[in-house]
Structure 1
C-alpha cells in the first residue's frame, strides 16, 4: 500500500484576488474587422432575354445596390502585453485576414494595433500599439518547471464579456491534437471558451506558461478540456517574429512517418519509436549527410525520438547553420551521421491532379496479393500516373474493399516501391518477398508506396493462409 503524500501536497490558495489584480491590467481584448466583398450578380446569358435582364438591372432600387456593397465581419479574442512599449501577443487565428485590429485595455483605453508578424504553424501573432505611457505587462515563465496537477489561471475575453479570470490545474502535458506538426500543448481544466483564444495561462507566480489556443468541445462550450501553447515553445517563435517579421525554423530536408508499433513489428523491431524516412529532398541537409529513404532516425542530438512531433519540434527550434548529430537505423544497423541545419521555407504544394491508371491491357500479367491485384508497370500506366522516369515499382490495379490492403486504404493507382525495406520492380519480387516474411513469422508487411507524387509507408497484415 502506498501512503498518501500529504506532506508534499499543497492546497488551493485562500484567494486568487491579489494575483488577479496584478495580472488583469496586462490582458487585452482583441477586436478585428474584416472587409468582405460580396460577389456581384451576373446577368444570365439566355437568348432572347438579354434586354429583359438589362432593363431589370437598370431598374433595381438603391436598397438592392446597397446589398452589393462590401460588408464587414468582426471577431473577438484575447491577448496580453509582453513589453511596456506596446508589444502584444495573441493567436494568429484571432487576427488572420483582419483589415483593422483594435486593442481594448482592462482600464478601457483603446488602441489601433499594427501587425508585426504572424505564424500560422504555431498559431501565434505579434502586434504593436503606440501609447504615451508605458503599458502594464507580464513576463514569460519556464513551462517545463510546471507539473501535472499544478494550479493555473486563465484570463481572457470569453463571449465578449471582457477580462475574465478562471482557475484550474494542468491536466496533461505534451498533448498532440493533430492540429499541426508542432503540437505540444498543455491541457487544462480551467474554463476556456470562445473568445479566450490568445489569452495567457499563468502559474501562481504570475508568469505566463501558456497561450490559450484551442478547446475540445462537441457542443462549443467549456467541458474542462482546453489547450495552451507552452511558453518555451512560443517564446522562440515570438522572438523570431519580432526580429525577422516571421518565424525562422530549421529543416533537415526529409519527409517521414512516425514509426508505429505496427510498422516496427513488420520490420522485426520491438518498439515503435523513431522517424521512418519516406523521401529525402535532393540537395538538402539530410541528402548531403547521407540519409536515405527507408532509414529510421532514432536519435537527435542524443535524445531518443519517442513521439510524432519530437523530431519536427527539435529541428524547428535548432539554430540555422548548426551541426547536429543523428543516429539512424538502416536495415537494422546503427549509423551515426552529422548534418548542418538549413532554413525551412514555404514550398509549393504537390501536384494534386487525380491519377488515372490505364485501362486493362491485353497480355498484362496480374496476380492477387493481400487483397490487391498487382500488375507490372507499363509505358502506358507510367504515363497515365505521371511517374518520373526513375520510379520503379509494381502497380496496384485493384483492391478488394474488405481485404487487408483495402482496410489500410490502399487503392487502384498506387505503386508499390518496396516491401519491408526491399525494393521491388516486378510482381514476382513482391510475391517472393511476402512469402519470405510470412515464413519468418511476421504478422504484417511494410509497403512503401507512391501516390500522386507523394511517398508513404503502409503496414498491411497477412491474410489467412
Structure 2
C-alpha cells in the first residue's frame, strides 16, 4: 500500500502552484490596463504648442445715453423712493444691473476667449462676446494686454473678427479642416471659463451637422467638451493640434455645462473671416424658401419610403426658388449631387454656394423625382423676405366635414394680415382627424392632399376625394408661417 503525501510534503508544491495560477490571472489584467493607459491621448504637447495663440478677450460697454433717465435707472429718483427699501437697495447697489446709484450707470464689462489666426494680429471670436462693446482688450498668454478694434461681425453665424492694434509677429494657431472630423474623435478646448485663464478641457465629437433654431446657416459640431461662460470664442483642437472649430454655445437647463456643447466648424468660420476681413460684410447664397422636417407621417403622405429631404412649406415672392419653378409641397432630396437627409442640411449647402452660381436640385413632386436648376441669389437682410401670394379662385359658405373641423371663406382682414389671398379659414375644430393632426382654429388651409385650396368649394371637393385609411398632408398658414401637418382620415 502506497503512502499518501502529508500536508507538509504538499505545502511547497501547493504554494508554488497557487502563485503561478494567480500570476496567470493577474498578468492579462495588468497588460490590459497598460494598453488602455497607452491608448488614452496625452494633451500636454498640444497645449504647450498652442496656448500662446489663444487669447482672453475683455470688453467694456459704456451706458447709452437716453436708455435711462437721470440716474441710470428705468425710472426717476422720485419713483425709486416710493419703492420698498429692499428694492431701493437693489437698484442703487454696486451690483445693480442698471449701474448703481444716482450718479449714473456704471460701464458693463464682459469677457470671452479667442485665438490669433495671422501673425499681424487678426483674432477670431464670437459675436456675442464683443457685441456692443466700446472697448476691447486682448490679453495674451505672456500677460500682455493689447487694444483691439472690431473688423466686422456676422450675427447669423455668431462670428466676429478683431484686429490687435500694432500687432506684429504674434503666435498663431494652425487651422485644420472640420469636414475631416469624425464622430468619436478626441477634441480639446482652451479658454477662460468664469475668468480662469487658459483652462483646458477635453472630450469627443458627439455629432456633426447639428442645426440650432437661432442659426440655420451653421452646421454645428456637437461635443461633450466642458464649455462654460468665458469659453465662448475659444478654439476647439483636434489631436494634431489644428483648430477645427470655435466654441460657441451650450445646451443647458441649469445655466452651466451639462455635457452638450456646440462649436462653429472652422471651414465655415474661415469663409466668414475672409469675407469680413476683405469686404467688411458676409454674403450668403439664398434660395428663398421656408422648409420643414419630413417625419414618418409626412413621408408616407408624400409617397416616400423613408423620411428624408427638406419639405418646402413656402416659396418667397420674387425669390430664386420661385424663378426656378420650385413649389410648396416639393421635397428637396439632393443639392448639387449631395443627399439632403435632414431639412437642416439644406441651408448650409445653399449658404456656401457662391451668389450667381447655378445649382442643381433633385426634387420629389407629386410622387415623381425631377431635376431643377436654380440661380442662387444673395441672402437678404433679416426681416426683408416676403411670402408669395397667388390669386383667389372663388368662395363659398362655411363647410363642416367629417374631418372634425369647420371652414369658411377667408376674410379680407385675414388676407391682409397674413399677406395671402387663397385658402379657407378654420373656424372650429372638434374631436377627429383634424384635432389629432394639430389643426387649430384660425389656421388657414391652403392645400389638402397636395391639392391647392382657394375656396370652400375646393375644400369640399378635396375632402370628398380623400383616400381612406391613408395619411394625407395639409398645408396651413399659422401666424404668418406655412407648415405641413399630417392627417389620417
Q: Deviations over 1:221-265 (max 9, x none)?
A: 333322211111222222221122121101122222232222121
Deviation at 1:421, TM superposition (A): 1.1
- Cα separation, 1, equivalents of 2:39 and 2:119: 34
Moved more, 190-199 or 250-259: 250-259
Q: Tell me, which stretches of 5 or more residues in structure 1 are unaligned?
A: 46-62, 352-362
The residue that corresponds to 2:428 in the other structure is 398
**Kindly tell me: are residues 385 and 452 of structure 1, through their superposed partners in 2, closer, same or farther at Cα, counting changes over 3 Å?**
farther
Q: Is the CA contact 1:394–1:425 (under 8 Å) kept in the aligned structure 2?
A: yes
Q: Which residue of 2 aligns with 1:181?
A: 216
Quick one: structure 1 residues 112 and 395, their matched pair in 2 at CA, closer, same or farther if it must change by over 3 Å? same
Question: Which residue of 34, 40, 47 corresponds with 1:12?
Answer: 40
Find the counterpart in structure 2 of residue 337 from structure 1: 372
Q: Distance in 1 between matches of 2:425 and 2:368?
A: 30
Question: Structure 2 CA distance, aligned partners of 1:385 and 1:407?
Answer: 26
Shift in Å, 1:66: 5.3
Query: C-alpha distance in 2, partners of 1:263/1:437?
Result: 15
Task: Name the SS for the 1:240 alignment partner.
Answer: helix
Local SS of the residue matching 2:128: helix
Larger Rg over CA atoms: 2
How do 1:125-136 and structure 2 match up within 5 A? 125-131=160-166, 133-136=168-171
CA displacement 1:95-119 (0-9 Å, x = unmatched): 1121211111111111111111111
- Deviation by residue 1:188-240 (Cα, 9 ceiling, x = unmatched): 22222111011001112110011111122322233332221111122222222
RMSD, matched Cα: 3.1
Cα distance between partner residues in 1 of 2:155 and 2:244 = 20
Q: Secondary structure at the match of 1:297?
A: strand
Correspondence for 1:24: 51
| From 434, 444, 463, the counterpart of 1:415 | 444
Alignment partner of 2:472 out of 442, 445, 450 = 445
Write the deviation string for residues 345-364 of structure 1: whole angstroms up to 9, x where unpaired: 2143679xxxxxxxxxxx95
In the alignment, structure 2 segments of 5+ residues that lack a partner are: 1-31, 70-74, 80-93, 387-395
The 5 A counterparts of 1:79-118 are 79-118=114-153
Q: Report the equivalent of 2:453.
A: 424
- Pair 1:111–1:338, CA change in 2 (3 A): same
SS of structure 2 residue aligned to 1:455: strand
Q: Distance in 2 between matches of 1:212 and 1:134?
A: 25
TM-score normalised by structure 2 residue count: 0.79
- Residues of 1 paired with 2:402 and 2:150: CA distance? 56
Structure 1 stretch 384-393 or stretch 339-348: which is displaced more?
384-393
When normalised by structure 1's length, the TM-score is: 0.83
The 10-residue stretch of structure 1 (307-316 or 260-269) with the greater mean CA deviation from structure 2:
260-269
2:412 alignment partner, SS class: helix
Contact 1:366–1:376, Cα closer than 8 Å, also in 2: no
| 1:367-399 residue CA offsets vs partner (Å, 9 max, x unmatched) | 14533221133xxx2235426897222111123
CA deviation map 1:106-139 (0-9, x unaligned): 1111111111111111111111012353111102
- What is residue 434 of structure 1 aligned with on the other side? 463
Q: Which residue in the other structure is 1:283 paired with?
A: 318
Change (3 A) 1:329 1:242: same
Question: More helix by proportion, 1 or 2?
Answer: 2
Q: Separation in 2 of the partners of 1:25 and 1:341?
A: 41
Match of 2:201 in 1: 166
Determine whether 1:373 maps to 2:406: yes
> Aligned residue pairs: how many?
424
8 Å contact from structure 2 (residues 312, 330) kept in 1: yes
**Kept after mapping to 2: 8 A contact 1:33/1:73:** yes
| 1:446 shift after superposition | 1.3
What per-residue deviation string (whole Å, max 9, x for no partner) do you get for residues 61-103 of structure 1? Answer: xx99952523211111100000010000001111112121111
Distance 2:105 2:308 in 1: 53
The 3 A distance-change label for structure 1 pair 436 and 216 is same
